[in-house]
Structure 1
Amino acid sequence: MFFISEMIRLNFIIFFLLFFSSSLSQRNTIKGQGFGVSAPSKSNNAVKDTTSFNVIKPDIDLYKIYTLEKDTTFVDTTLSIQSEYKYNLLRKDIFGLLPFSNEGHTYATLDFGLSIKSVLPNFGFKAKHFNYQEVSDIRYYSVPTPLTELYFKTVMEQGQALDAFLTVNTKPNLNFSIAYKGLRSLGKYVNNLTSSGNFRFTTSYFTVDKRYNLNAHFAGQDISNQENGGIVNLEEFEGSTEPFNERERIAVYFTDAVSLLKGNRFFVDHSFKLSKLKTNSLVFKHQFNQEYKFFQFSQPTINERFGSSFTNSINNKTRYNHLYNKLGIAYSTQNYGDLEFFIDDNNYNYYYNSVVYDSNGAIAVPSSISDKINMLGANYSYLINQFNVKLHVSQSLTNQSISSVEANAGYKLNDDYEFFFKYQKLNSLPNLNYTLYQSGYVNYNWFTNFNTEKLNQFDFSAKTKWLNLSTSYKILNDYLFFDNTTNDISELLVQPVQYDKTINYFSIKVDKEIKFWKFALDNTLLYQKVNQSADIVNVPQIVTRNTLYFTDYVFKKAMLLQTGITFQYFTKYYANDYNPLIGEFYVQNETKIGGFPMLDFFVNAKIRQTRIFLKAEHFNSSITGYNFYTAPNYPYRDFMIRFGLVWNFFQ
């Protein structure tokens, strides 16, 4: 009955959207070339807007989005299958990630290739950072007219997700942008509330002669999750009979635990060219990054699942101060590429407000670790015709034995064929929460001295008119991970462990979209294989996503309609489990998950610059059985209907 009522509700919403769009069908609109091309239209000439006062609108390719590496894209208001894939909280295609039951909680990583390692030690608590925007996630803008984008999406219960963005060029060479992404979702289970906010402010500037360039941003972010520890009795969920079909009736491990990740960052990247010439000139560069973070886990009532405790309530708070400066000098030539030498200074302080003593009264776990790391390195880039090469090397000058080597080569034969190769060798320090952690729980206190992690990685990708292919091969040595020392899911005594043998990981991913008339079938398939003497890196062997959809204009081309079904599946494997106390996933080899299909039905529409999204998520959940999990005792999402929109304003 629930499924039938939800489908009736879905049909009613579809009817409402179609009725709404038909009321707009008599209005004049700009007709683009192909599906989803919208005003402002990308063309060689400006487009005349016949709807009001014959205002000439700028070309879409003047609305630029770029990274610190100067990779430039344009504002995209089209309705494509990629629009469907990117319509989520992270605003990107999350193939290879599996979300938890509530929006904004965390994600299980199905594709091990998505795990990126830095040569410098990071804060850690990686499970809480999926929705935390790092320096590399920030984008900068250049627009001819003010641009606004609004993202809205419903959530699981009592809340919404909203991302509001505005950018403007006050002068052709001065841009400002401001954005805020907010989320509140109660969730379906007890003690499952999510509340987060991501504020971003950016500015970009260059002098008229383009000798001086500046990109800077401020980011203030907080991500709060109520942590219930998962389901106590899995039979209550897998049976889903009354009253357990109402998810708040299912018993969970924790009813009052909360985690909070909060951080503020100020970042500046600027450069000055010594000569007015476009090439054969020295360029001085400077990068500055100052960031403060903390991760806090509070639990007013202690729980025996984490073992014995020092106190009757838990309030763990890990703090982190980071100050980074990078100075570089580059020489740019027209015929021989660009060469840069740099030196950086990395200072951090990772600390608590207490120490832990052993039975003899000596300090077993200190209050902090602080360090200063200086690295010397060089970058080289060369672009000629369709061939592009980039090289990077760096080595520590201080007593830490860390280094980085990276080589990239790309070749674009034409619009149909493009090839890319990458090699990376890292000797990196452990994340700081592997080295030091303090807690009110006795077994969650450690101070370690691990070896550096070693990584050799080879990547190759090819984009052709037949299919897209990417392969990756990783060789891991001294790999660090978290492990449950009890081998019992009901008791979590998780500790950091270093694996002293070699792990070999291989993956191949192919994707291809097949089009026929107004139908299309988009396919993505990932195959993974791990060679290791112990089960440390556990991955599903096969991950697949297949979408069959239909696209056409309706209501005298006033609305573009897109509707279809997405099938997702991954093979069974020993998935890493989630530990909310330390904000990390840990290795377990007792319980397998996977082997269940996930079917989504969607109806999307585009009216002018507004894209409307409506989806029946996991509508097969009650049909194929309640054995779907994201982590061993954390269920995946039940069937639900969600909708929202992305609205662009070009002023």
Structure 2
Amino acid sequence: MKFTKTLSSFFVIVLCTVGSLNGQINPEKRNQAINDQNNPSNKSKKVNKNDLATIDLYKIVKATNDTTFVDTTLSLKKLYKFNYLQEDNFGLISFANIGQTYNTLTFNSAEQYSLPLFGASARHFNYKKGSDMEYFEVPTPWTRLTYKTAFTQGQLLDAFFTINMSKQFNFSIAHKGLRSIGNYQHALTSSNNLRITSNYKSLNKRYNARGHMTWQRILNEENGGIRDEDIINFTSGNEEFLDREVFDPNFEDAEGVLIGKRFYLDHTFEITKPKDSIQNNKLLLLNTVSFEDMYFEYVQTSPATDFFGSAFSNTIRDRATLENFQTDVGVSYFNNLIGELKFKLEYSDLNYGYNSVVLLNNQNIPNRIQANVLAVNGQYKKMFSGFIIEGKAGLNLSDDFGGNYIYGNIGYQLNQDIYLEGALSISSRLPNYNFLLYQSDYLNYNWYNFGDYNNVNTQQISFSLKSEKYLDIDFDISNIDNYTFFNLEGIEEGVKIIKPRQYQNTIQYLRIKFRKDLRYGKFGLDNTVLYQNVISDEDVLNVPAIVTRNTFYFSDQLFKKALTFQTGVVFNYFTKYNMNGYDPLLAEFYTQNNTELGGFPRLDFFVNAKIRQTRIFLIAEHFNSSFTGYDFFSAPNNPYRDFTIRFGLVWDFFL
């Protein structure tokens, strides 16, 4: 298997590196030093900084240049991130099998890009974008292994390794692999995410470069969910159907796969000499080169005409491709008085489409959208007297691909505990490519709207307050014009007619989220509550009014504080609403107003422990499923997962 070969190669690299670095630092001292620094109770222990690197030297640099360091502590935030996406998934609800997709319970309109996205958004939750990539700087090699059990058969494993070959050059390699059969028929998931990064800085620090390569494959067997006539068998809790393999899905011969590879390089050269930097002036040349090639393919051995409608052929094979080449050149100027200012000229070569032209109802549906787009963008950042001011803007110099964005942010540290922030986001861009052009062997899934659809225009104002002593508050209000979505237009002879649609009126959308962790001794109650409201003439953007997550937990340190222990219960809930449906052919969610879902509690019992740099997670997911009613769905005809016990760990070790 490709996954096994890649993982084997990875461990060969690790073992060779371990052998070559055996004489650097005693691993037991290194791990003990890291453990001491991450354990608040060990502050009295001294670390000889001449012999051992401290934890703050293990740096993680985001794509935005924000820098953090490795954190091996155990907290609720780590529990919330211990999932397939490896990030807090509040506001999402997963499908029954790990790696399928997520239905969104909230919507963020703020955007900082001016070109359409590829589409097949249901496959992109686990797809690493360029803005998701991280770069590293470490004094000694660092390895992290993340493991979690899956459903029926399979597992999730993410293996990561990074090393500084010298003080100037860092290299990292990581591979996340998943395979899970799932509890329902024909619901297998398989994904691979290979990421390679490096960054370099010259001895005189005038030249800096960082780059990455990714290869990603996200495959899902598709079954269309359970049949309409079986919904009553599911919701009634009929014992004959508690074995979920008994359900006959809508079809059992389809799969969708998203594959993408990307090559990226970002490098800068400082024009000013190092001695000039003392005068607080810095001028840099900037250049970025990126090439991404991706495609989404839906394959079905025989057409499901009772589900998707009539078809052109006896075998379905739809493939949409996108080749996206981007490069830019620019300058960056920094001065202590005026801050940092960047200006870039960007060029994009876009090629999206299919292999052949479709003739439908005496109308040709073309197979390509191609464009060469010039754009300008700039950034500004300044820090003074506790204020952080940041701004970004971009403009496409193209008639066919017109678009722009403006983003402004100002933050202020009121005191040691309270941080205030406000932001303004304005954007205008074309809808995603699969709204503009789509071809399929199914007749109902062919359209060409390029030139007919207007830009989606959004304006968002947001405010936030961060305070560990009081609470965190996030508030935003958005205006959306020309909102574009997939819509359930109707049902004809049992076939759902899904079409792209652009809403011509204005949508107003408000969100406010509160978070507070209440603690009393060794007990705690962590609360996150989201309220949202949509105002529009039609129900085109559906979200639940309230989404909440409340965690009651106990935390302590045992065995002379060698083990950190946490246990508790997580309560998740969202109010009933017209939940978006899922279309496996498009790999998209669509708006529907026929079926109200939600209003069911999800209770997870967890026991977490940390021993040195190893965090262990044992979670009984949805343990209330058998006694609070079988009305839990992630989308119409797609049930949420039943009670299951899952185990996993995150292991960091330093050489």
Whether 1:451 and 2:454 are equivalent positions in the alignment is yes
Whether 1:336 and 2:338 are equivalent positions in the alignment is yes
**Contact 2:191–2:218 (8 Å) recurs in 1:** yes
Q: Secondary structure at the residue paired with 1:389?
A: strand
Q: Secondary structure at the residue paired with 2:165?
A: strand
Q: Which moved more, 1:28-37 or 1:128-137?
A: 28-37
Q: Which among 327, 330, 352 is matched to residue 329 of structure 2?
A: 327
CA distance in 2, matches of 1:208, 1:648: 30
Give the C-alpha shift of residue 326 in structure 1.
1.4
**Contact 1:42–1:60 (8 Å) recurs in 2:** no
Q: Which residue of 1 aligns with 2:357?
A: 355
Give the C-alpha shift of residue 45 in structure 1.
6.5
Whether 1:99 and 2:107 are equivalent positions in the alignment is no
Q: Which residue of 2 aligns with 1:256?
A: 253
Give the C-alpha shift of residue 393 in structure 1.
2.1
Name the CA shift for 1:601/1:71 in 2 (closer, same or farther; >3 Å): same
Gap regions ≥5 residues in structure 2: 1-30
Name the CA shift for 1:201/1:338 in 2 (closer, same or farther; >3 Å): same
CA distance in 2, matches of 1:587, 1:559: 48
Q: Which residue of 2 aligns with 1:409?
A: 410
Give the C-alpha shift of residue 422 in structure 1.
0.9
CA distance in 1, matches of 2:103, 2:296: 20
| 1:413-432 correspondence to structure 2 within 5 Å | 413-432=414-433
Whether 1:516 and 2:520 are equivalent positions in the alignment is yes
Give the C-alpha shift of residue 288 in structure 1.
1.1
Whether 1:129 and 2:113 are equivalent positions in the alignment is no
CA distance in 1, matches of 2:413, 2:653: 35
Q: Secondary structure at the residue paired with 1:612?
A: strand
CA distance in 2, matches of 1:629, 1:116: 30
- The code of the aligned residue for 2:388 comes to N
Q: Which residue of 2 aligns with 1:377?
A: 377
Q: Which residue of 1 aligns with 2:390?
A: 390
| 1:476-495 correspondence to structure 2 within 5 Å | 476-487=480-491, 490-495=494-499
CA distance in 2, matches of 1:444, 1:294: 17
**Contact 1:42–1:61 (8 Å) recurs in 2:** no
CA distance in 1, matches of 2:44, 2:561: 20
Q: Secondary structure at the residue paired with 1:434?
A: helix
Name the CA shift for 1:45/1:413 in 2 (closer, same or farther; >3 Å): farther
Whether 1:546 and 2:517 are equivalent positions in the alignment is no
Name the CA shift for 1:520/1:247 in 2 (closer, same or farther; >3 Å): same
Give the C-alpha shift of residue 239 in structure 1.
2.5
Whether 1:608 and 2:612 are equivalent positions in the alignment is yes
Q: Which among 445, 450, 464 is matched to residue 461 of structure 1?
A: 464
**Contact 2:113–2:405 (8 Å) recurs in 1:** no
Q: Which moved more, 1:67-76 or 1:542-551?
A: 67-76
Give the C-alpha shift of residue 156 in structure 1.
1.0
Name the CA shift for 1:34/1:567 in 2 (closer, same or farther; >3 Å): farther
Name the CA shift for 1:115/1:488 in 2 (closer, same or farther; >3 Å): farther
Q: Which residue of 1 aligns with 2:4?
A: none
- The code of the aligned residue for 2:126 comes to N
Name the CA shift for 1:495/1:46 in 2 (closer, same or farther; >3 Å): same
Name the CA shift for 1:490/1:463 in 2 (closer, same or farther; >3 Å): farther
**Contact 1:42–1:59 (8 Å) recurs in 2:** no
Q: Which moved more, 1:393-402 or 1:465-474?
A: 393-402
Name the CA shift for 1:559/1:253 in 2 (closer, same or farther; >3 Å): same
**Contact 2:35–2:613 (8 Å) recurs in 1:** no
CA distance in 1, matches of 2:521, 2:43: 24
- The code of the aligned residue for 1:377 comes to N
Q: Which residue of 2 aligns with 1:160?
A: 155
Q: Which among 615, 626, 645 is matched to residue 630 of structure 2?
A: 626
Give the C-alpha shift of residue 488 in structure 1.
7.2
Give the C-alpha shift of residue 559 in structure 1.
1.3
**Contact 1:43–1:59 (8 Å) recurs in 2:** no
- The code of the aligned residue for 1:272 comes to F
Give the C-alpha shift of residue 243 in structure 1.
2.4
Q: Which residue of 2 aligns with 1:18?
A: none
- The code of the aligned residue for 2:330 comes to G
Deviation string 1:310-365 (CA, Å, 9 cap, x unpaired) is 011101011110000111112111111111211111111012111111344x5x21
CA distance in 1, matches of 2:205, 2:113: 32
Displaced runs of 4 or more, over 6 A: 28-35, 41-45
Q: Which moved more, 1:565-574 or 1:28-37?
A: 28-37
Name the CA shift for 1:588/1:410 in 2 (closer, same or farther; >3 Å): same
TM-score (norm 2): 0.91
Give the C-alpha shift of residue 240 in structure 1.
3.1
Give the C-alpha shift of residue 42 in structure 1.
8.6
Q: Secondary structure at the residue paired with 1:237?
A: helix
CA distance in 1, matches of 2:213, 2:415: 39
Give the C-alpha shift of residue 66 in structure 1.
1.0
Gap regions ≥5 residues in structure 1: 1-27, 49-54
Q: Which residue of 1 aligns with 2:28?
A: none
Q: Which residue of 2 aligns with 1:567?
A: 571
**Contact 2:221–2:255 (8 Å) recurs in 1:** yes
Q: Which moved more, 1:459-468 or 1:616-625?
A: 459-468
Q: Which moved more, 1:251-260 or 1:479-488?
A: 479-488
Give the C-alpha shift of residue 492 in structure 1.
2.4
Q: Secondary structure at the residue paired with 2:567?
A: strand
**Contact 2:38–2:71 (8 Å) recurs in 1:** no
Name the CA shift for 1:352/1:331 in 2 (closer, same or farther; >3 Å): same
Q: Which among 109, 124, 141 is matched to residue 104 of structure 2?
A: 109
Q: Which residue of 1 aligns with 2:440?
A: 439
- The code of the aligned residue for 2:173 comes to I
Give the C-alpha shift of residue 124 in structure 1.
0.9
Give the C-alpha shift of residue 621 in structure 1.
0.2
CA RMSD of aligned residues (A): 2.0
Q: Which residue of 1 aligns with 2:3?
A: none
**Contact 1:36–1:560 (8 Å) recurs in 2:** no
CA distance in 2, matches of 1:431, 1:630: 24
Give the C-alpha shift of residue 35 in structure 1.
8.2
Q: Secondary structure at the residue paired with 2:596?
A: coil
**Contact 1:201–1:219 (8 Å) recurs in 2:** yes
Give the C-alpha shift of residue 265 in structure 1.
0.2
Q: Which moved more, 1:487-496 or 1:127-136?
A: 487-496
- The code of the aligned residue for 1:631 comes to A
Whether 1:240 and 2:233 are equivalent positions in the alignment is no
Q: Which moved more, 1:638-647 or 1:242-251?
A: 242-251
CA distance in 1, matches of 2:77, 2:166: 33
**Contact 1:575–1:631 (8 Å) recurs in 2:** yes
Name the CA shift for 1:42/1:225 in 2 (closer, same or farther; >3 Å): farther
Q: Which residue of 2 aligns with 1:15?
A: none
Give the C-alpha shift of residue 414 in structure 1.
3.0
Q: Secondary structure at the residue paired with 2:71?
A: coil
- The code of the aligned residue for 1:475 comes to N
Q: Which residue of 2 aligns with 1:557?
A: 561
Name the CA shift for 1:35/1:554 in 2 (closer, same or farther; >3 Å): farther
Give the C-alpha shift of residue 44 in structure 1.
11
- The code of the aligned residue for 2:523 comes to F
**Contact 1:604–1:613 (8 Å) recurs in 2:** yes
Percent identity over the alignment is: 45
Whether 1:78 and 2:81 are equivalent positions in the alignment is no
Q: Which among 290, 315, 318 is matched to residue 317 of structure 2?
A: 315
Deviation string 1:497-533 (CA, Å, 9 cap, x unpaired) is 0000000000000100011111111000000000000
- The code of the aligned residue for 2:106 comes to D
Q: Secondary structure at the residue paired with 1:485?
A: strand
Name the CA shift for 1:132/1:32 in 2 (closer, same or farther; >3 Å): closer
Q: Which among 221, 224, 229 is matched to residue 229 of structure 1?
A: 224
**Contact 2:114–2:395 (8 Å) recurs in 1:** no
Q: Secondary structure at the residue paired with 2:108?
A: helix
- The code of the aligned residue for 2:231 comes to L
Name the CA shift for 1:107/1:261 in 2 (closer, same or farther; >3 Å): same
**Contact 1:340–1:379 (8 Å) recurs in 2:** yes
Give the C-alpha shift of residue 398 in structure 1.
2.1
Q: Which residue of 2 aligns with 1:65?
A: 60
TM-score (norm 1): 0.91
- The number of equivalent residue pairs is 614
